[in-house]
Amino acid sequence: MAEMDTSSGGGHKKGPGVKKAKKLSTRVDLTPMVDLGFLLITFFVFTTSMSQPTGLKMFLPKDADKPEDQNKVKQSAVLTILLGKGDNVYYYEGELALDASNFKSSSFKDIRDVVLNKKRNTDPKDFVVILKPNDECTYKNTVDILDEMAINDVKRYAMVDIADVENQLIKATEQSSGVK
């Protein structure tokens, strides 16, 4: 491939009897070396793991037994997000109405707008999001909703155990919409 022209370009002729030393080529055929190089590259490309796992920080609140120790939040500034099975998201603003009229279904696609809307319409210093995953939602959903809080830059949010009433509402909604 990469040979050098060893024949001297017909120049100076030496006298008779002077033997011409044969010049050896200094070039090496590099093709096998390139082959080997790319083989190794492909090997390392496939085995390498570029992305380091990240750690999503989470702080748990200390359980406050006495009601006076508990954090108070303004009802109107609260958005409660409930997570059910099958990647379904439910939410309500403020307090859950007795007839559950403000209980709405949503999805992970739409919940961002809901959060942003609520955020825009409330005083930033009161705004709180309460997350209530139920036992049937997946760990992925839980992390996704926490991530959603980071994406929407929600400063105050808390993960709270779900109440029975809410769980029943989710169950009823799931049944009526046929979620398995």
Partner 1 sequence: MPKVKVPRKSTTIDMTAMCDVAFLLLSFFILATKFKPSEALEVKTPTSVNTKAAPEKDVVMITIDKEGKVYFSMSEKEKKEAALETILASKGLQMSAEAKKVFGKESSFIGVPIANLPSYFGLSEEEAKKVALPGIPVKDSSNNELNDWLRAALSAYEGEKMNLLVKGDNASQYGIFKNVINAFKKNDLLKFQMVTDPEGIPAGSELSKKQIKGEKLD
Binding site for partner 1 (CB under 8 A): 1-3, 29-31, 33-34, 37-38, 40-41, 44-45, 47-63, 83, 112, 116, 133-144, 146-147, 150-153, 161
Cα distances (angstroms) measured from residue 128 to each of 11, 37, 44, 125, 153: 92, 57, 47, 9, 12
Q: Which is nearer to partner 1, 96 or 159 (CB)?
A: 159
The distance of closest approach from Cβ of residue 89 to partner 1 in the complex, given in angstroms and rounded to an integer, is 13
Q: How far is the CB of 171 from partner 1 (least distance, A)?
A: 15
Closer CB to partner 1, 122 or 134, in the complex? 134
Least separation in angstroms between residue 3's CB and partner 1 is 7
With respect to partner 1, which residue has the nearer C-beta, 151 or 172? 151
Give the whole-angstrom CA distance, residue 114 versus residue 123: 16
The CB-of-94 to partner 1 minimum distance in angstroms stands at 22
Q: Which is nearer to partner 1, 51 or 101 (CB)?
A: 51
- What is the three-class DSSP state of 82? strand
Question: Which residue's entry shows tokens 């999503």?
Answer: 56
Burial 155-167 (b: 16+ CB within 10 A, else e): ebbebeebeeebb
31-63 as b/e, with b when 16 or more CB fall inside 10 Å? eeeeeeeeeeeeeeeeeeeeeeeeeeeeeeeee
- Least distance (Å) between residue 99 CB and partner 1: 27
Name the residue with tokens 């309460």: 130
> Is the CB of 16 or the CB of 44 nearer to partner 1?
44
